[in-house]
Structure 1
Amino acid sequence: MSDQLSAGVSSAPATAPPGVPAPVARRRARPRRRGGSLAAPYLLLVLPVGLVCLALGYPMVRQFIMSFQEFGLAQQFGRPPEWVGFQNYSQVLGDPYFWVVTARSVVFCAFCALVTMGIGIAFALLLQKLSTVPRILLQVALVLAWAMPPLAALTVYTWLVEPRYGLVNWLLTSAGLESFRGYSWLAGSPWTFFLIAAITVIWTSVPLVTLSTYAALNQVDEAVLEAAELDGAAGWTRLRLVVLPIIQPVVLLLLMLEIIWDLKVFTQIKVLQAGAGNNRETNLLGTYVYETGIGGGDYGIASALATVMLVLVLVLTWRYMRTLMKQGDL
């Protein structure tokens, strides 16, 4: 009987003294399944990483292997490729024309990238100063210019610089410059060819730089700008010492992308070369690799050229990549 009483007493809930709140019963927390939550992000990355490796990794590995082989027209018809080691690279690096094309490509890339960044940042600053309606109209125009297919834009530029009926020659001759009557901007001189090519490349790149920089400018804290203005920094000084350092990661990323895109530009040069008729004087690395591989059928040399081009891109962009990595943005 005493055991039953003691059991009943022990099983009964404890009552709190008068004036003291009763303790709240705590629920036992369920153990979290940490294994599944930690593995979920990696499982979600499997498909996109696998697709990237399949679409880009295999061609890159195949290109690297072919750069050490003699792979020409005979190999396309079934003959096994012959391993030649670094012979393709020595032939490429020992060709003076390769260095001419490389220097030409680097100069063209630097000019286009710097001009694109300058115009894009200037347009982004202009967007901040405009009222709502002009700003929307300019943004729509930039998006349309960016969305225009390169071949369509190149067709328009080809019509503009057409020797006999082009708008550019008509305006120049109307202004009294008779030397431009019937002048061919594409075949007349490599300088004018690359001027037209640079305009087409810059035209397609400025919208991205403008819109991305404008988005970064809108993220700058107004309190920082007001503090800089109170300290006497206004106009160009505030832009150079306050605004640009804040948006530096975005600017560096855009500059790195512009260098990569402008160094391997192909479509604009290849289409404009159809009206120039002198590919040797207007080749850049992209068209040079295409002519060597697709045009000449020497895929071993073309693969070596493409690999050297890849190394050149990494060398030119490594400084900016290292800066972004230090800032924790990559």
Structure 2
Amino acid sequence: MSATLAEPDATPRTPTTKPPRPPKGAPTAPRRKKPVQWAPWALLAPSIALLVVMVVYPTIVMLVTSFTNLEIKNKMLGTSPDFVGFDNYIEIFTDSQFPQVLARSLGLMVVLTVLIVVFGMLIALTMTKLSKAWRLAVSVSLLFAWAMPPLAATVVWGWMFDTDYGVINWALNTITGTQDWRGHGWLENPWSFMMVLVIIVTWQSIPFAAITFYAGLGQVPEEVIEASSLDGASAWQRFRLIVLPYMRNVITAVLVLETIWNLRIFTQVYALQQQGGLASETNVLPTYLFRQGLGEFGTTAAIGVFMVILLMAISYFNVRNSLKDEEL
């Protein structure tokens, strides 16, 4: 060891010094191929198989069907459908109802997403200021609302807005001291129908956003909040300049999920339509797809493909903006 250190020609090695390269023509040791790690693939195989069976295969079948004129008679007679190209897509976009249904669905999606995110954040911020007992009570209440099946929740809210026996009409008559609200049909008017729908969906979707935001608020360092408070920052400034940057990923995830869920609402809309709503004036994309030509699988498949593309585009836009902010 001492002889090695005493050599005058030896240059000290530093972490940045590269090892000397062997001269050209010198024999080099053969590179060993890294063995394939089969254990991770074996663990992922059940999930991949499930995704292929439940997602990939139906999507491919739907895409292929959207370019054919497959109908129920083909299933009954055992005949093959004809390839029609983009005729199904042209048909749905030239249908007089589809533009209205699309605009109604997008508008409903925006309103629901904004309300759910805003009220969810307000409840989450409020929970951080509550005592442990009250925080537990609020969490349990949120979980009860979230755990209720959508159909059951819609039926209960439908009874509350019932024309003859609804508690909403009774309360309004009691408050105003009149009988003006007696027999008022909330579901008969498309605008009041959408108002009732927004209340139901928002009430049942807020718990997920609130609990997720509350968990995300735990990632914000208390020291930074206290330092900014001592520097004179207002509550709004602390929320905008400190809390929001720390929770950007959480908010993006909730936005993407709520956007997808709110564009795929079916149960609540269909149940309210069965309780007195006019389907032709209150349809959204899922119910329109369900009611569009029973047995015309080619047309309904085209609507489904359009919904998938629309959801992917919206989700990609939100995720891309989030990744750009992270890089900055």
Structures share a fold, TM > 0.5? yes
Query: 8 Å contact 1:163–1:181 — kept in the other structure?
Result: yes
What residue in structure 1 maps to residue 168 of structure 2? Answer: 168
Equivalent AA in structure 2 for residue 313 of structure 1: L
Where do 1:137-148 residues align within 5 Å?
Answer: 137-148=137-148
Against the structure 1 CA distance between its residues 328 and 51, is the aligned structure 2 distance closer, same or farther, given a 3 Å change threshold? farther
Equivalent AA in structure 2 for residue 168 of structure 1: I
Equivalent AA in structure 2 for residue 244 of structure 1: L
**CA positional deviation for 1:328:** 7.0
Equivalent AA in structure 2 for residue 51 of structure 1: L
**CA positional deviation for 1:297:** 1.6
Identify unmatched segments of 5+ residues in structure 1.
Answer: 1-32
TM-score in terms of structure 1 length: 0.85
Against the structure 1 CA distance between its residues 179 and 79, is the aligned structure 2 distance closer, same or farther, given a 3 Å change threshold? farther
Q: Which moved more, 1:246-255 or 1:169-178?
A: 169-178
**CA positional deviation for 1:324:** 3.6
**CA positional deviation for 1:113:** 0.5
What residue in structure 2 maps to residue 66 of structure 1? Answer: 65
What residue in structure 2 maps to residue 281 of structure 1? Answer: 281
Identity over aligned residues, as a percent?
A: 36
What residue in structure 2 maps to residue 22 of structure 1? Answer: none
Distance in structure 2 (CA, Å) of the matches to 1:48 and 1:257: 21
Against the structure 1 CA distance between its residues 321 and 309, is the aligned structure 2 distance closer, same or farther, given a 3 Å change threshold? same
What residue in structure 2 maps to residue 120 of structure 1? Answer: 120
What residue in structure 1 maps to residue 312 of structure 2? Answer: 314
Query: 8 Å contact 1:127–1:135 — kept in the other structure?
Result: yes
Equivalent AA in structure 2 for residue 234 of structure 1: S
Distance in structure 2 (CA, Å) of the matches to 1:43 and 1:228: 50
Equivalent AA in structure 2 for residue 309 of structure 1: M
1:227 equivalenced with 2:227 (yes/no): yes
Q: Which moved more, 1:196-205 or 1:61-70?
A: 196-205
1:180 equivalenced with 2:174 (yes/no): no
Q: Secondary structure at the match of 2:97?
A: helix
Distance in structure 2 (CA, Å) of the matches to 1:212 and 1:100: 34
- Post-superposition Cα deviations, 1:308-330, rounded to whole Å, max 9, x if no partner, equal 1111212222221213444679x
Distance in structure 1 (CA, Å) of the matches to 2:289 and 2:153: 24
Match of 1:303 among 301, 304, 312: 301
What residue in structure 2 maps to residue 131 of structure 1? Answer: 131
**CA positional deviation for 1:34:** 6.2
What residue in structure 1 maps to residue 205 of structure 2? Answer: 205
What residue in structure 1 maps to residue 99 of structure 2? Answer: 99
Distance in structure 2 (CA, Å) of the matches to 1:137 and 1:80: 59
What residue in structure 2 maps to residue 270 of structure 1? Answer: 270
Against the structure 1 CA distance between its residues 39 and 72, is the aligned structure 2 distance closer, same or farther, given a 3 Å change threshold? same
Distance in structure 2 (CA, Å) of the matches to 1:269 and 1:242: 39
Against the structure 1 CA distance between its residues 325 and 45, is the aligned structure 2 distance closer, same or farther, given a 3 Å change threshold? farther
Q: Which moved more, 1:205-214 or 1:223-232?
A: 223-232
Distance in structure 2 (CA, Å) of the matches to 1:74 and 1:173: 54
Q: Which moved more, 1:306-315 or 1:280-289?
A: 306-315
Distance in structure 2 (CA, Å) of the matches to 1:277 and 1:111: 20
Query: 8 Å contact 2:193–2:277 — kept in the other structure?
Result: no
Q: Which has the larger radius of gyration?
A: 1
Against the structure 1 CA distance between its residues 57 and 327, is the aligned structure 2 distance closer, same or farther, given a 3 Å change threshold? farther
Where do 1:32-47 residues align within 5 Å?
Answer: 35=35, 38-47=37-46
What residue in structure 1 maps to residue 155 of structure 2? Answer: 155
What residue in structure 2 maps to residue 253 of structure 1? Answer: 253
Against the structure 1 CA distance between its residues 192 and 222, is the aligned structure 2 distance closer, same or farther, given a 3 Å change threshold? same
Equivalent AA in structure 1 for residue 55 of structure 2: L
Query: 8 Å contact 2:105–2:285 — kept in the other structure?
Result: yes
Distance in structure 2 (CA, Å) of the matches to 1:245 and 1:178: 51
- Post-superposition Cα deviations, 1:135-173, rounded to whole Å, max 9, x if no partner, equal 000000101111111111112101101111110000011
Against the structure 1 CA distance between its residues 56 and 85, is the aligned structure 2 distance closer, same or farther, given a 3 Å change threshold? same
Query: 8 Å contact 1:142–1:207 — kept in the other structure?
Result: yes
1:290 equivalenced with 2:290 (yes/no): yes
What residue in structure 2 maps to residue 8 of structure 1? Answer: none
Q: Which moved more, 1:73-82 or 1:154-163?
A: 73-82
Distance in structure 1 (CA, Å) of the matches to 2:139 and 2:278: 38
- Post-superposition Cα deviations, 1:94-143, rounded to whole Å, max 9, x if no partner, equal 22311110000000000000000011000000100000111000000101
Q: Secondary structure at the match of 1:129?
A: coil
Query: 8 Å contact 1:193–1:276 — kept in the other structure?
Result: no
Query: 8 Å contact 2:248–2:322 — kept in the other structure?
Result: no
What residue in structure 2 maps to residue 6 of structure 1? Answer: none
Distance in structure 1 (CA, Å) of the matches to 2:110 and 2:235: 28
Q: Secondary structure at the match of 2:165?
A: coil
Distance in structure 2 (CA, Å) of the matches to 1:170 and 1:182: 10
**CA positional deviation for 1:39:** 3.5
**CA positional deviation for 1:277:** 4.5
